[in-house]
Structure 1
Amino acid sequence: MKKILILITAVFLFGCNEKTYTVEDFKNNKELLDEYRKKCENGEIDGDSLNCQNSHKAIISKNRVGNASWN
C-alpha cells in the first residue's frame, strides 16, 4: 500500500510540472518570451525557475547580437 501511495504522489508531483523551454525556444518565439517575462516579473512564476532563467538569457543573448558591431 505504501508503494502505491508513493507512486501516486510522485506521478502527481512530476506530472504537474510546467514545460521547460530552452533559450532557443524563447529566442525564436517573441510571444512566448513576452508571456514568460511578464509571469516572472509579476511573481506568477518563481524567478529562480528554469523558464525564468532561460527567458532572461534569451533577452540578454538577443541584446548582445543586436548591439554587436560588425565593422
Structure 2
Amino acid sequence: MDLLMKVLSLFTLSGFAELYSGNIIMIIVGGVLLYLAIGKKYEPLLLVPIGFGAILVNLPLTGIMEEGGLLYF
C-alpha cells in the first residue's frame, strides 16, 4: 500500500498529470514526422523542424507557449 501511494504521489507531482490525449496525439504526429524525415528521407529540411516543434510544444508543464515563453508570439 505504501508503494502504491508513492507511485501515485510521483504521478501527481510530475508532468504526467497534465498530459492530455491531445498532447499525446500531437507527440505521436511529431514522432511520425521525424521518422519520415530522418528514416525515409522525405523532405528532411521541412519535416525535422516541424516534427521537433510539435514534440517540443506539447511537452507538459513547460510553459513554452504561454505569455513570456520561448515560442510565444
TM-score, normalization by structure 2: 0.35
Higher helix share: 1
Bigger radius of gyration: 1
